[in-house]
Amino acid sequence: MGVGEAANFAAYAFAPATLVTPLGALSVLVSAVLSSIFLNEQLNVHGKIGCILSVLGSTVMVIHAPQEEEVSSLESMAEKLKDPGFIVFAVCILVSSLLLIFVAGPRYGQSNVLVYVLVCSAIGSLSVSCVKGLGIALKELFSGKPVLKEPLGWVLLVCLVICISVQINYLNKALDIFNTSVVTPIYYVLFTTAVMMCSAILFKEWQHMVLDNIIGTISGFLTIVSGIFLLHAFRDMPFTPDLLPLFLQQGRAELQATWRSADRHQSCQHQPLLSSEDKGSQSTEEEEEEGGSM
* Residue 279 banded pLDDT, cuts 50, 70, 90: very low
**Residue of 182, 181, 129, 140 whose CA lies nearest to 21:** 129
List the chain domain ranges: 1-66+211-237, 72-208
**CA–CA distance, 54 with 198 (Å, rounded to integer):** 23
Amino acid at position 122, single letter = A
Q: What is the pTM assigned to this prediction?
A: 0.71
Share of the chain above pLDDT 70, in %: 77
Per-residue buried b or exposed e for 141-171, using 16+ beta carbons within 10 Å of the residue's own CB: eeeeeebeebebbeebeebbeebeebbeebb
- What average pLDDT does the chain have? 77
**CA–CA distance, 122 with 163 (Å, rounded to integer):** 10
Residue pLDDT, tens place only, 146-182: 777 888 888 988 998 999 899 889 989 988 888 776 7
pLDDT at position 225 over 80: yes
Average pLDDT over residues 122-135: 86
* Residue 7 banded pLDDT, cuts 50, 70, 90: confident
pLDDT at position 99 over 90: yes
**CA–CA distance, 288 with 261 (Å, rounded to integer):** 42
**CA–CA distance, 22 with 277 (Å, rounded to integer):** 73
